[in-house]
Amino acid sequence: MPHYVAIIEDNGPDDVSLWLPDLPGCISGGDDVDEALEGAPEAIAFYAEELIEDGRQLPPPRTLDELKADPEFADAIRNHTAVLIEFPPRDDAQE
């Protein structure tokens, strides 16, 4: 299963956002980190649907080390929490 790196930004009370460097514009948010994480797979699914409608596919995810080496994202990774989001998510109920 591919795992996308996500950056979590805690912007204050009841304001947490999560964004994925490999998927520009793909974000999830919530009142807390758990809410933002919970919505991430759905955000990726919607993002993928839009790409498919345009005849494109999700780009392959880069590793955390690859993103750390990218000057565009190095500071964000250094200054915020980075997590891995599995997509498509594993459905434990079917195992």
For residue 94, pLDDT beyond 50: no
What's 92's DSSP letter? G
Question: How much is the pLDDT for 70?
Answer: 97
Q: Which two tokens stand for residue 75?
A: 């500071």
Q: Where are the beta strands (DSSP E) in the chain?
A: 3-10, 16-19, 27-30, 81-86
Q: How far is CA 19 from CA 49, 76, 91, 93, 94, in A?
A: 17, 10, 23, 27, 29
- Mean pLDDT for all residues in the chain: 92
Q: Indicate the range of 14-18, 50-54, 91-95 predicted with least confidence.
A: 91-95
pLDDT(95) > 50: no
Q: What is the dihedral sign for C-alpha 35, 66, 54, 48?
A: negative
Which fold is adopted by the domain 3-94? Double Stranded RNA Binding Domain (3.30.160)
The domain segmentation of the chain, as residue ranges, is 3-94
Per residue in 40-89, pLDDT (tens digit) is 999 999 999 999 999 999 999 999 999 999 999 999 999 999 999 998 87
Strands 3-10 and 27-30: unpaired
pLDDT, position 92: 57
Q: How large is the average pLDDT for residues 6-35?
A: 95
Q: Is the pLDDT of residue 6 over 90?
A: yes
Please state, as a whole number, how many other Cβ atoms lie within 10 Å of the Cβ of residue 16.
21
